[in-house]
Chain A
Amino acid sequence: MSLKLNTDLLIILIAFPILWFAPAGLKSYGLYVVSLWLVMSIAAMGLNLTLGYAGLTSLAQGAFLGIGAYATAILTVKAGWPLPAAFLVSTGLSFLVGVVLGFPALRVKHHYLAFVTLAFSVVVFLIARNEQWLTGGVFGLANIPRPTLFGTDLGGGLAFYRVVLVVTLALTLVMWWLLHSPWGRAFQAIRENGTRAASLGVDIRAYTLLAFAIGSAFGGAAGALYAPLVEFIDPSPFALSASFVLLLTVVAGGAGSFFGPFVGAFFSYMLPELLRATGGWYLIIYAAVVLVLVMVSPTGLLGLIDRWRDHQSQRKAAAIRAAARPTLANGAETNPKEQGAAS
């Protein structure tokens, strides 16, 4: 397979070294915030596949974040597993749960699917809160270990940030490959017109389940990084509102655009930290900005840029047309019948 060097890959290649070196001067809180941005970008990337590319409205991504985080915490703290193994198992578990949750998606769509996934989120939250023997209940699970590599401790703020960055890079490349594979095309075909996709031989059942499961696996992977990042988890960050915010993140960034999740997560998770100086008001500002954004541009921030670009190219095209008008006008005059048919 020859990899055509397209803009998306180019941006990834340029961004990676910048992101590797740039935060080196940050203090531990700054590093935490940037790491959180990457972790949430992974979760949003998964939801972007489910919602933006496959068109399935899910309000369960926060729950998958929780499943990944709790699975990792339980495996490392209680069973003493190394973090990489726990990461893989958490991701796999989220994938399997995603397949199961995908089954309702075969029957219902749009807001009905949103409500089924919403119910799932609430149930996951209740389990995390009530099953104290497993999850520690409201007291949570503490002392989640950070990784080591060949005896090197990767638990420092900067080292762990770089671990998160490498995992993010790997998952971003997986997502890029997925979207450019026949699978990715099939997801988009289902979103655009399910019936037509089916008539062209796309197995809608299998691809709907896959879209859900892969999106969920990304959520689980994000959770598996979230747990060692914060080192202590309790049920509250995985409540229903987490799923709401993740959905807003994807939409604000631009559902169905490749870097939308990163832009959206910057907006939803880093901006609030920067606005912390405003006290409790930052969520109000955030919600108001999202509200205005969705109203002005339902295709998100990147959609806004696309629209601006379209507008520019339209103006350019209009200028070219204006320059070419004399010849066009002549053509139209010589063939009045065609002109009538066109209007």
Chain B
Amino acid sequence: MDQFLQLIVAGLATGAIYALAAIGFTLVWQTSQTINFAQGEFVMLPAILVLTAAHVGLPMWLAFIVGSAAFILLFGFGFKRFLVEPMQRHGVLPLAIATMALSVLIKEAAKNGFSAEAQHFPSLVPDGSVSFLGAAVSARDIAIFVVAVAAILGLQAFITRTRTGRTMQATAQNPTVARILGVPVERMILLTFLINAALALIASYLISPVYLAKFSNGETIGLAAFIAAIVGGFNQIRGALAGGFLIGLIDNLAAAYVSSAYRAAVPLVVLVVVILVKPEGLLGRKEERTV
């Protein structure tokens, strides 16, 4: 029972990270039909940028600011402006392929420009465990969960409570009508890319102390984020949220109870079943173009 509870908490913590990446993924998909195959690399990179800035000699707090700013500028604004915008008229597939090339590019650049070895990343929360319902669970897991959920709730509040957020939602649901109603559609799309970058940034700072900062981290996280987004529903934020937690839990439970060698296969089996049985995702709306 103790082990089970620990696994649940760990699963919710990883799930929260996956949810952050998956929500950003669905946001850019909704507003600009971008399937970002580099999403995992987006989560890997900010930590590397911070460490690079620190390596140059900046104090840690300044490195965090410089790394974050550089990341948001390059992969929020730059990604939208210089990759997605020119590619969009060619359709979904060429853009998706461009993001695949981008993912290889980021990964190899991180490997050669920074380090091929896993690097220690400073944790914002002290290591240790706390007692929870009689079981010792990792304090870091709880912190990850709390921070990620707070970020998601903040985003949700922004989208539903503020005028800008609602306009952004309108853009996501129907860009044409939004444009007719006077919504600055381009600015709203840019905003979703900035939010995507910010979510990736948070996920990166949360996960890197645990997994260590390494160029190949994006592979696992990216895969999990796709699966979470599709399983939950490609066109729903709450779908991506639910999918993230589900995949996080399945991932951790499968490693313990099914087979550690095949832990990566279990979420994939779930993915294939969902795609074949309910392609719009567990919480998704039906979209004509999906089938």
Interface set of A (CB-CB < 8 Å, partner B): 57, 104, 107-112, 114-116, 118-120, 122-123, 126, 129-130, 240-241, 244-245, 247-248, 251, 279-281, 283-284, 286-288, 290-291, 294-295, 298
Measured CB to CB, the closest approach of chain A to B254, in angstroms, equals 12
User: B262 near A107 (CB under 8 angstroms)?
Assistant: no
Interface class of chain B by DSSP: helix
11 example contacts (A-B, Cβ-Cβ < 8 A) are as follows A110-B289, A119-B271, A120-B272, A122-B264, A123-B265, A123-B268, A126-B261, A247-B97, A248-B104, A280-B108, A291-B83
On whether the beta carbons of B98 and A126 are closer than 8 Å, the reply is no
Asked whether, in the complex, the Cβ of B105 is within 8 Å of the Cβ of A111, the reply is no
How many A-B residue contacts, CB cutoff 8 Å?
A: 112
Q: What is the distance, in angstroms, from A158's C-beta to the closest C-beta of chain B?
A: 33
Contact A111 B96 (CB under 8 A): yes
Chain B residues lying within 8 Å of A107, measured Cβ to Cβ, are 275-276, 279, 291
Cβ-based interface call for B109 (8 A): yes
Verify A244–B100 contact, CB threshold 8 A. yes
Chain B, residues 255-275, CB within 8 Å of chain A (1/0): the string is 000000110110011011001
Distance in angstroms between the alpha carbons of A288 and B109 in the assembled complex: 10
Of B111, B264, B269, B272, the most chain A CB neighbours within 10 A belong to B272
Contact B264 A281 (CB under 8 A): no
Is B150 part of the contact surface with A, judged by Cβ < 8 Å? Answer: no
Given contacts A116-B272, A294-B94, A281 and B112 within 8 Å (CB-CB): yes
B230–A115 touching, CB < 8 Å: yes
CB-CB under 8 A from A109, the residues of chain B are: 291
**Given the complex, which residues of A lie within 8 Å of B268, measured CB to CB?**
119, 122-123
Contact of A122 among B100, B265, B279 (CB under 8 A): B265
- Write the nearest CB–CB distance from A191 to chain B, whole angstroms: 12
Contact of A110 (CB < 8 Å), options: B87, B93, B104, B105: B93
Interchain residue pairs A-B with the least CB separation, the first 3: A298-B94, A287-B105, A119-B268
**Contact in complex: B112, A284 (CB < 8 Å):** yes
Whole-angstrom distance between the Cβ of B17 and the nearest chain A Cβ = 19
Q: With A111-B96, A247-B97, A295-B87 known to touch, is A284 a contact of B105 (CB < 8 Å)?
A: yes
Contact A126–B100 (Cβ < 8 Å): no
**Which residues of B are at the interface with A, using a C-beta cutoff of 8 A?**
35, 83, 86-87, 90-94, 96-98, 100-105, 108-109, 111-112, 219, 223, 226-227, 230, 261-262, 264-265, 268-269, 271-272, 275-276, 279, 289-291
Q: Which residues of B contact A286 (CB under 8 A)?
A: 104
Question: B277: nearest residue on chain A (CB-CB)?
Answer: A107
**Cα–Cα distance between A184 and B138 once the two chains are bound (Å):** 59
| Measured CA separation A341–B138 after assembly (Å) | 76
* CB contact between A298 and one of B35, B90, B109, B291 (< 8 Å): that residue: B90
Q: Which residues of A contact B96 (CB under 8 A)?
A: 111, 114
Contact A284 B275 (CB under 8 A): no
Of B35, B227, B261, B264, which one neighbours A111 at CB under 8 angstroms?
B35
User: Are B94's CB and A283's CB within 8 A?
Assistant: no
